[in-house]
Structure 1
C-alpha cells in the first residue's frame, strides 16, 4: 500500500511539474489526438493533417496578431472587421484596376497594398485611442468593430465582390510548392518573422515590459504610448495578411468573413498561455493553440458534431484554459516565494 502511495506521489509531482512548465496546451492536444484517433480512421492521415495546417493558417496569423496586443495588456476585438475591410478594399481595388486580360499582377500588387494600408490605418486609430485618449482596449476596439463593419457593409451593400485576377486566386489561394500549399509556406514565414520580432528586437522586449508593469516601463524611459500604438498597427498588418489569403481562397471580397475571429484568436492565445493581464506569452505556444482549435473543429466535423455545438466546445475550452492559466500562475508565484 505504501508503494502505491509513493508511486502516486511521484506521478502527482511529475504531472504538477509538467503543468507548471508547459501549461494546459499539451494536455488538450493529447486528449484531442487520442479521442479523435479512436473516433475516426481518417483523423491522423497525412492528407487530413496537411488540411488542418492549411485551414489553421488564417487563425494562426490572427492569433499571433492578437498576442502582440495582449502582451501590452490590451485586447483587439476589431481583428474580425480588419479582415473584412482588408478583403473588401483589396478586392475592389483589384477589380477596378484589372482590365480582365493578362495576369493582372500590377492590379494584384496595388490591391494588396491598399488592403494592408487600410488595415494598418484601423490599427493606428485603435492604438491612438488606447494610448492617447485612454479609452480601454475592449471599448476602443469594440467600437471600431461596429464602425468598420458598418462601413464595409455600406461600401459593398453586403454583396461579395467578384472579378479579381485569376492569378491571385490560383497562386495565393490554391498554389503549392513542393507539394505543400503555398498558404502554409507563407504562414511559416510570418511565424518566423513574428518570433524574431517579439523575441529578438527592442520593440518586442518593450511590449513585454509594458504589459508586465506599465508604470515601471514609463519610469525606465520607454515611450509607452508610441509602443502601444505600434503594437496595434503591427497586429493589424498581420491580420491584413491573413485577410488577403482568405480573399484569395474564397475568390471574392467578403464583408462578413471575420465574425468568429475575435473569439477564436483570444481562445488560441489563452490556450497557448498568453496572459490577459499582459507581459506573458510565447509565439510558438500561440501557433499551437490556433492549430489545436482548428484540429478540434476538424475532429468534430469527422465525428459529425454540429457547428452550433462546436461553438459551445470552443467556449468551454476558453474558460478552462483561462482558469488553468490562473492556477498555473498561482503555483508559479508559490514556488518563487
Structure 2
C-alpha cells in the first residue's frame, strides 16, 4: 500500500514532464463493507428488536394482545432499572456482579421491616422502602470504596460482596419466604397502573429521565465517562476518580434495591432467592445496547432498547414454549456476541 510519504515524493518529482496534480480521493467502500461499518456504529439491536416482534407476532397471536403488553411492561420495569444501574458502573470500566444478591437481601430486609412495623398504611411501606434502599447504599459503599481505594478488580470484589449479601439474606430468612406483607404495598407497587401503564414502569421511566440528565447534563456524568475512558488520564486533568467510582457503585446498588422493592411487591413476599438471573441479564442488556465492556462508552437510550429486546425475547420464547434451558443458551450466545461486536466497534472507531 502506498504511504503518504510516497505520494508527496511523486508530486514533487513528476516523471516524463508530466505534472502530477492532486491525488484522486479513494473510491468509496463497497456496499457490503459500508453496510457492515454502519451496523457496527449503530448496532444491530433495533433491527433485531423489530425482527423479534414480527416473528413472535406471526407465530403466537397472543403476543400483541394488550394483556401481554402489560406483562412486558412490568417485566421491563425491573430489568430496565437494574440495567441502567449496571451501566453506570460499566461506563467507569468496572462491573457489579453483586446485583442479584443485592436484590435478595433487599427483598428480605424490606419485608422483615414491614412485617415488624405492622399495619396496612403508608408507615410500614415507607419503612420497608427506606430499609431496602439502605441495604443498597451500604453494599454500594463497600464495593466502591474497596475497588477505588485498594484498586482490587471489581469482578472479584462484587462476587465476594454478593456472596456475603446472599448468605445474610439466607440467615435472616432461614431460607424461607417472608409473608404477611401489607396489602397496600403489594397492591400499589405490585399491581397498580396509571392510565393502563404499570406503576413500576412509570417509576422506571422516571429513573431513566433522572439518569439521562445526570449522564448528559452534569459534571458528574462527564466524570463517569472520563474515568472509564482512562483512569490515569482522568486523574491528571483533575477528575475525582475515587469519588466518581464510589458514587457509581452506590447509585448502582441503590437503584438495584429500588427494583428489588418493586419485585418484592410483585411477588408479594420477601424472597431470599430472588434476582439471581439479573446479573447476566443486566450485563447482557447493557452491552447489547452499546455500553462498552471496557468503559467510557454508553448511551442510556440504547441501553433501554437492550433491556426491552431481552424482555421481548424472553416473553416471546415463553409464549411459544421454548424451554428454559434453550433460553439460557440463547442468552449466553447474545452476551458473547455483544462483547465481540463491542470489540469490533472499538477497532473500527480507531
Structure-2-length-normalised TM-score? 0.89
CA distance in 2, matches of 1:23, 1:44: 25
Aligned residue in 1 for 2:139: 122
Matched, 1:53 2:73: yes
What pairs with 1:66-105 in structure 2 (closer than 5 Å)? 66-99=86-119, 103-105=120-122
CA distance in 1, matches of 2:280, 2:191: 27
Matched, 1:22 2:42: yes
Aligned residue in 1 for 2:51: 31
5+ residue gaps in structure 2? 1-28
Aligned partners of 2:93 and 2:294 also within 8 Å: yes
Aligned to 2:286, which of 257, 262, 269? 269
Aligned partners of 1:273 and 1:325 also within 8 Å: yes
Q: CA deviation at 1:43?
A: 2.0
Q: CA deviation at 1:318?
A: 0.8
Aligned residue in 1 for 2:334: 317
CA distance in 2, matches of 1:35, 1:54: 22
What pairs with 1:183-332 in structure 2 (closer than 5 Å)? 183-332=200-349
CA distance in 1, matches of 2:170, 2:129: 20
Q: CA deviation at 1:9?
A: 4.4
CA distance in 2, matches of 1:15, 1:50: 36
Q: CA deviation at 1:32?
A: 1.4
Equivalent position SS for 2:276: coil
RMSD over aligned CA atoms reads 1.5
Aligned residue in 1 for 2:181: 164
Aligned partners of 1:62 and 1:265 also within 8 Å: yes
Q: CA deviation at 1:13?
A: 5.2
Q: CA deviation at 1:302?
A: 1.4
Aligned to 1:147, which of 164, 171, 191? 164
Equivalent position SS for 2:61: coil
Q: CA deviation at 1:14?
A: 5.6
Matched, 1:63 2:83: yes
Equivalent position SS for 1:173: helix
Deviations 1:65-90 (A, max 9, x none): 00000011000000011111111111
Q: Whose Rg is larger?
A: 2
CA distance in 1, matches of 2:342, 2:70: 29
Aligned partners of 2:147 and 2:157 also within 8 Å: yes
Q: CA deviation at 1:17?
A: 4.7
CA distance in 1, matches of 2:226, 2:36: 28
CA distance in 2, matches of 1:170, 1:316: 37
